[in-house]
Chain A
Amino acid sequence: MQIFFSISRMRSYFYTLSALILAAVGVTLLAALCGGTGCFIPSGANEIFWQLRLPRALSAFAVGASLSLAGALMQLLLRNPLADPYVLGVSGGAAAGALGLTWFIPASLMTYGLHVGSLAGALLATALLFGLASPELISRSQRLSDAHPGLRLILTGVMIAAGSGALITLLLSLSDDTHLRGVLFWLMGDLDASELLWPVWLTLTLAVIWSLRNASALNVLAHGELTAFLVGVPTRQLRIMTLLVAAITTAAAVSVAGTIGFVGLVVPHAMRLLIGNDQRVLLPSSALVGGAALCLADLMARSIVAPVQLPVGVITSLVGVPVFLFLLTRSR
Chain B
Amino acid sequence: MLTTQQLCISAVQRRLVTDLNWQVKPGEFWCVLGKNGAGKTSLLHTLAGAATPAQGSVLLSEQNIVDLDALTLSRRRGLMLQSHSDVFHESVFNVVAIARTPFRSGAQWDTTADIAAVKHALQGVNLEEKINADITQLSGGERQRVALAALIVQSPDLMLLDEPTAHQDVAYQLKTMHLLRDLSQQHAVIASCHDINQATRFATHVLLMDDQQHWLGPVDEVLEAERLSQVFGCSFRREGESWLMY
Which B residues are in CB contact (< 8 Å) with A143? 45, 50-52
* Complex interface: stretch among A44-52, A215-223, A306-314: A215-223
Are A231 and B101 in contact, with the CB atoms below 8 A? yes
Contact A229/B51 with A3-B112, A6-B110, A148-B85 known, Cβ cut-off 8 Å = no
Contact with A along B57-100 (1 / 0, CB 8 A): 00000000000011111110011010011111110001100110
Which size class do A's interface residues fall under? 20 to 34
Interface residues of A in 181-229 (CB under 8 A from B): 216, 219-220, 222-224, 226-227, 229
Contact A276/B74 with A2-B116, A5-B110, A220-B98 known, Cβ cut-off 8 Å = no
Which A residues are in CB contact (< 8 Å) with B48? 230
* Complex alpha-carbon distance, A322 and B87, angstroms: 21
The answer, yes or no, to whether B192 is at the interface (CB within 8 Å) is no
Interface residues of B in 91-135 (CB under 8 A from A): 94-95, 98-99, 101-102, 104, 107-112, 114-116, 119
* Complex alpha-carbon distance, A227 and B150, angstroms: 11
The answer, yes or no, to whether B154 is at the interface (CB within 8 Å) is yes
Are A219 and B70 in contact, with the CB atoms below 8 A? no
Are A224 and B70 in contact, with the CB atoms below 8 A? no
Which size class do B's interface residues fall under? 35 or more
A binding-site residues for B, Cβ under 8 Å: 2-3, 5-6, 9-10, 79-81, 142-144, 146-148, 216, 219-220, 222-224, 226-227, 229-235, 272, 276-278
B binding-site residues for A, Cβ under 8 Å: 45, 48-52, 69-75, 78-79, 81, 84-90, 94-95, 98-99, 101-102, 104, 107-112, 114-116, 119, 154
Can you identify 27 A-B contacts, CB atoms within 8 angstroms? Answer: A2-B116, A5-B115, A6-B110, A6-B114, A6-B115, A79-B85, A79-B87, A81-B87, A143-B52, A144-B50, A148-B87, A216-B104, A219-B94, A220-B98, A222-B87, A226-B50, A226-B81, A230-B78, A230-B79, A231-B78, A231-B101, A231-B102, A232-B70, A232-B74, A233-B101, A272-B88, A277-B90
